[in-house]
Chain A
């Protein structure tokens, strides 16, 4: 498989969207606001964003055999809010419930083995006097 990351993107979207409580918090089950890399311009908040931070091949002793890939993703809730609690916290909790220690699945011949959180993530952005808060975690995902 030349590029597992796009398949992992698909697994992440499907896994997060399948959490009905999470979907309800970000626009409803019909069209949850869950995006990869960047939300479309004009998207409403809150939303969930996942971004690939790094992807490393796990290789065999000869390095010609690719055993699996070790991908690190930032998965966060983003809201225009003045507080870390409330919906932002609820969404971050649902993200973690869906992804931490998750067993994975198969997307388009790529098998996602496991997903687990390796650290939390919290960022505050101020733009034109408006505050956007980002809360979630960094997840390590093994896939082949």
Chain B
């Protein structure tokens, strides 16, 4: 006996589109929170250079320091041969890690 399944309509496209929108919001908000946390935990000189670069909807990069000001952001974060580290970026990102993962899981399971 032949069994045929005929799909007359599906919502996969709409679900995928909504997933993309929700995930993008989580990425954007998380990056903003990380940037705000970094600004509040480092020197004003470095804080002024901290910015969020959006690279498409699902990628954001938090950048501290630039080529003309606060060149030393990496040295502050990781220390040098002569100065102890005062991490500000890693703690800010790690603090958002579990919340970010939880929010993403919620979106996918919805």
**A residues bordering B, Cβ < 8 Å?**
37-39, 45, 49, 51-54, 56, 58, 70, 72, 74, 76, 78, 80, 121, 123, 125, 127, 132, 134, 138
Contacts and interface: CB of A to CB of B under 8 A. Distances in A.
B87 interface: yes
A123 B79 CA distance: 10
B65 to A, nearest CB: 12
A58 B75 CA distance: 28
Interface in B73-95: 74-75, 77-85, 87, 90-91, 93-95
A138 B97 CA distance: 16
Nearest to B83: A38
Contact of B79 (A38, A45, A54, A127): A38
Contact of B75 (A37, A45, A49, A125): A125
| A-side interface mostly | strand
A78 B78 CA distance: 12
A54 B98 contact: no
B74 A53 contact: no
Nearest to A41: B82
B98 A134 contact: no
B78 A39 contact: no
Contacts of A70: 94
A121 B97 CA distance: 20
B81 to A, nearest CB: 4
Contact of A134 (B81, B91, B95, B97): B81
A70 B90 CA distance: 12
B78 A51 contact: yes
B83 to A, nearest CB: 8
B84 A123 contact: no
5 contacts: A39-B81, A49-B79, A54-B90, A54-B95, A56-B95
Contacts of A37: 79, 84-85
Contacts of B84: 37-38, 51
Contacts of A123: 74-75, 78, 80
A84 B83 CA distance: 21
A45 to B, nearest CB: 7
A54 B78 CA distance: 11
A92 to B, nearest CB: 14
A76 B79 CA distance: 11
B78 A74 contact: yes
